[in-house]
Structure formats: structure tokens, C-alpha cells
Amino acid sequence: MVKLILTSIAFFASSAILLADTAMNTTKPAGAPAACAADGAKSACGLPSNVVIDMSKASVKHTDAEWQSLLTPLQYEVTRLQGTEPSFRNTYWDNHEDGVYFSACSDTPLFDSRDKFDSGTGWPSFTKPIEPLFVAVQTDSSFGMVRSEVHCTTDGAHLGHVFDDGPAPTGLRYCINSASLRFMPRKQYDAWVAAHSAPAVSK
């Protein structure tokens, strides 16, 4: 009886390790689902980051106390502490409205809804940023994985991660936290662009 119990325990322990290894794997085999789809919070997207973001070139800077006063608790946890919001329980994962997603920490347009797709992960996913110079990529080796962390270069806000299992034409999937974003409808964005465009030089 004791031998049977020990054998069962060993089997379940081995199964748990196998499932954990599968969830942590960020490389997508042929026909496999996106890396973030595996087991929610244990997936590559569901874990927080631990990188040192270079703020020396950021144009928007605040003290930690100022960030806490400017952001909601969740926005602060995600953007300044590199946390991660729950999948399928965030603002923009299922948003289909036409428009542009700005950084929650500055007036910086980051992603266009025309590049957004349903990755099945429960987080907003994009094939590319509006302007690559606004989104920096940094190697994140935390939690025994090698991931590519992405953040806003203007304000240093942690956004999420980018994976190479996205659709054409880029083959990339920017898995982004809703808490890092602020959505602006297309008509409002067009007006914002017009207001921020340089005036024409008269001849």
C-alpha cells in the first residue's frame, strides 16, 4: 500500500514538472499555441519582468512618489515595477474599436489598432509598434527564461514582451499589458496628430 502511494506521488510530481517546463517554454513548436496561452499566470507573458531600464535618454521623468500619484495602483505596478496584469481580465484585450494606443505614462503613441490581432492569450497583441524608436527591446532573463522585454523609450514604462510567434507580415507578437496603455479613438487621434504637427513654413 505504501509503495503504491509513493509511486503515485512520484507520478504526479513528474507530471507537475513537465507541465511547468511546458508553460515556461517561450519557443513555439510547429502548430503549438502562443507562448502566453499556456496556463495563464505561469506563462511567459503572465510573469513579471526584472530588467534595468535605461532612463538616461527618457524625456518624461518623475520621482517614484510622483508616478504613484499620477497612475492608478495597477498602472504603477505594471509600468514602474514591471508587473503583469491578469489575462482576460484587463481593459483592452478584447477591444475592437479603431484607434491608437498611447503609453499610460506619457503622450506617446505606441500601437495602432490596425496592427492588433486576437492571439488567444488574453492580453492585447500587436504585430508591430507605430514607431520602432518609441519601443525598446531588452533581454529579460528572469524566472529561468530568456524573454524580450519591451518598454516605452519616452518614459521608461514597462509594456510587456515581444515573441516571434506572431502572424504575417512581421511574424512578431507584442504581448502588451492594458495597464501600460491609453486608448484614443481614430477621430480623436487624427485631431491630436493635426494639433501636434509642425506648422507649414510659408514661402
Contact criterion met (CB below 8 Å) for 80 and 71? yes
Nearest-10 Cα torsion for 128, 153, 76, 51: 90
Sheet holding 99-103, edge to edge: 109-112, 99-103, 181-185
Residue 16's pLDDT band (boundaries 50, 70, 90)? very low
d(CA 189, CA 5): 63
135-140 and 173-176 beta bridge pairing: unpaired
Q: Which of 37-51, 56-70, 99-113, 156-170 has the lowest mean pLDDT?
A: 37-51
CATH 2.170.150.20 for domain 61-196: yes
d(CA 39, CA 133): 33
Residue 203's pLDDT band (boundaries 50, 70, 90)? very low
pLDDT in tens, 76-127: 999 999 999 999 999 999 999 999 999 999 999 999 999 999 999 999 999 9
d(CA 187, CA 142): 40
Q: Can you list the positions of beta strands (E) in 44-180?
A: 99-103, 109-112, 116-117, 125-126, 135-140, 147-152, 158-163, 173-176
pLDDT at residue 40, rounded to an integer: 43
Compute the mean pLDDT over every residue in the chain, rounded to the nearest whole number.
82
For the chain, the domains span 61-196
Residues with Cβ within 8 Å of residue 71, at least 6 apart in sequence: 79, 80, 104, 105
**More confidently predicted of 200 and 48:** 48
pLDDT at residue 43, rounded to an integer: 66
The active-site residue, picked from 36, 45, 152, 175, is: 175
Contact criterion met (CB below 8 Å) for 110 and 181? yes
**Rounded average pLDDT over 58-82:** 97
Residue 175's pLDDT band (boundaries 50, 70, 90)? very high
pLDDT at residue 200, rounded to an integer: 53
pLDDT at residue 85, rounded to an integer: 95
Instruction: Output the pTM of the full model.
Output: 0.78
For the question of residue 175 being annotated catalytic, the response is yes
